[in-house]
């Protein structure tokens, strides 16, 4: 998501890789790591008196999002551009360059036993939302 146009990348990979070769890409899940998405925690009481805390992600404009500046690493001196794109945008560019997708995984993280929760929402609190995708592309 740091590259403004990934078409040249896939075209170059197509010329560099032999037929049948694989290119594996891992990236932050574009549906849940959009620059405009917000992580939060809500707390509510169940009818039985139990209090439940639930961590969530609020996202909008996943499709057709515009480039935006952001900080990638805490303490980074200057913001840099992000170029959000949907999974179908990524797949269609790869397909157009002569790749197929023959593997896809969405991975979620879990808190280690005994690991304390942070005060701010963490991916480890959202075990049913995948922050990362791994895509295996194969050259036709």
Per-residue confidence (pLDDT) for residue 118, from 0 to 100: 66
- Per DSSP bridges, beta strands 68-70 and 80-82 are antiparallel
Per-residue confidence (pLDDT) for residue 7, from 0 to 100: 97
Per-residue confidence (pLDDT) for residue 29, from 0 to 100: 92
State CA 64 to chain mean position distance. 16
Per-residue confidence (pLDDT) for residue 119, from 0 to 100: 63
CATH code where residue 132 lies: 3.40.50.150
Q: Is residue 1 part of a domain?
A: no
- Residues 42-52: tens digit of each pLDDT: 888 999 999 98
* Residue range of the domain that includes 20: 7-139
Q: How far apart (Å, rounded) are the C-alpha atoms in residues 125 and 38?
A: 14
- Residues 117-131: tens digit of each pLDDT: 666 777 888 888 899
Q: Is residue 20 part of a domain?
A: yes
Q: Confirm if 140 and 99 have CB atoms less than 8 A apart.
A: yes
Q: Is residue 45 part of a domain?
A: yes
Q: Is residue 2 part of a domain?
A: no
Quote the number of domains for the chain.
1
- Exposed, middle or buried: residue 112 (CB in 10 Å: 0-12, 13-18, 19+)? exposed
Backbone angles phi, psi at 38, to 5 degrees: -130, 135
Per-residue confidence (pLDDT) for residue 125, from 0 to 100: 81
- pLDDT digit string (tens) for the chain, length 140 residues: 889 999 999 999 999 999 999 999 999 999 888 777 888 888 889 999 999 888 888 888 888 888 989 888 889 899 989 999 999 999 999 999 999 999 999 988 887 777 776 667 778 888 888 999 999 999 99
């Amino acid at each position: 998501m740091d590259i403004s146009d990934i078409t040249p990348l896939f075209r170059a990979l197509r010329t560099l890789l032999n037929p049948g070769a694989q290119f594996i890409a891992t990236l932050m899940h574009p549906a849940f790591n959009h620059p405009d998405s917000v992580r939060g925690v809500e707390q509510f009481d169940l009818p039985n008196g139990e209090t439940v805390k639930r961590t969530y992600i609020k996202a909008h404009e996943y499709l057709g999002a515009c480039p935006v500046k952001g900080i990638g690493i805490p303490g980074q001196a200057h913001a840099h551009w992000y170029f959000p794109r949907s999974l179908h945008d990524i797949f269609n560019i790869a397909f157009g360059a002569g790749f197929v997708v023959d593997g896809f995984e969405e991975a979620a993280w879990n808190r280690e036993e005994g690991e304390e929760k942070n005060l701010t929402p963490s991916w480890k609190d959202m075990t049913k939302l995948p922050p990362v995708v791994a895509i295996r592309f194969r050259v036709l």
